[in-house]
A = this chain, B = another copy of it.
């Protein structure tokens, strides 16, 4: 049986998904519709993926400008809506409305979109439960790292008592470069921009907001406790000095932006922390890592790529394949 998928959003993640579905026919996934911000295309037998990727490469609309994302959500024939439009952390829109409309139609939803998931997870799950469908969001946290599968399946039966993560690759890269080369924050940020690791406006990353949004998603997944971004105590890395990193180095330590959740203490925090260099959460470059403390399995740490087109597509495809149709 083929899995019919509609994809909203043809940025880096959406294109990665299309590319993988094209390269791996064995997955059994058919893309029956896609939409970008300007157009849409629908074909119940499967759209022409190569044609779409070619048009996007040339900077064109993906399909028919008379078809909108909303048309795809409401009218196309699909089993699973894949929502991978850009994140709006303030409102979660328009992704949230699209996801609600798909669930209303009895469709499963898979998303990489942190906005609606960090703001509305409990509501989305409740709605989905009412309709007998699933909402999965592996790609919202830790890129390619299958942390949600680990929590939901691999560690089933365990109580998670604490969580520590390096959830923002941009910050980890900047801190790595400041420590290794004695660069200032501004110099390391400029280098990250040149290499494409930092956005033109890096505020969300360097102020710790991106990591905090991911922490909210993790906390609400593990403890069902409906926290919001306002509950996280956030300090970024933008005020760190080269001196601070040098002093850490002298004690065989370094500084990393650590996201931590300790539910017993009511603590949710993202902040630069002094950490021993041989700790599993210390590594170089743009990787992500998550350590979970549990009552039976002890501490389990996962390390992997936190971003990237194909890497994030891997998480989305893992979610698609884990839904029983």
Which A residues lie at the B interface, using CB under 8 A?
20, 24, 27, 144-146, 149-150, 153-158, 278, 280, 283-284, 294, 296-305, 308, 310-311, 313-315, 317-318, 320-322
Q: Is the beta-carbon distance between A297 and B158 smaller than 8 angstroms?
A: no
Tell me, rounded to whole Å, the shortest Cβ–Cβ distance linking A202 to chain B: 23
Chain B residues near A313: list those with CB within 8 A.
296
Q: Is the beta-carbon distance between A298 and B305 smaller than 8 angstroms?
A: yes
Chain B residues near A302: list those with CB within 8 A.
300-303
Q: Is the beta-carbon distance between B280 and A296 smaller than 8 angstroms?
A: no
Q: Is the beta-carbon distance between A304 and B296 smaller than 8 angstroms?
A: no
Q: Is the beta-carbon distance between B299 and A304 smaller than 8 angstroms?
A: yes
Chain B residues near A317: list those with CB within 8 A.
156-157, 296
- What are 23 A-B residue pairs whose CB atoms fall within 8 Å in the complex? A144-B296, A146-B150, A146-B153, A146-B154, A146-B297, A153-B153, A155-B314, A157-B317, A157-B320, A157-B321, A278-B283, A294-B314, A296-B313, A296-B314, A296-B317, A297-B305, A297-B315, A298-B304, A298-B311, A300-B302, A300-B303, A301-B301, A302-B303
Could you say how many copies of this chain the assembly holds?
A: 2
Q: A149-B149, A153-B149, A153-B153 are in contact. Are A298 and B158 (CB under 8 A)?
A: no
Known contacts A278-B284, A296-B317, A301-B304; can you find 6 more A-B pairs with CB under 8 A? A149-B149, A150-B150, A154-B154, A155-B318, A280-B280, A300-B302
- Give the residue name and chain of the B residue nearest to A308 (CB): B298
CA distance A305 to B158 in the complex (A): 14
Tell me, rounded to whole Å, the shortest Cβ–Cβ distance linking A249 to chain B: 14
- Give the residue name and chain of the B residue nearest to A142 (CB): B300
Select the residue from A20, A27, A278, A298 with max chain B CB neighbours within 10 A: A298
Tell me, rounded to whole Å, the shortest Cβ–Cβ distance linking A84 to chain B: 15
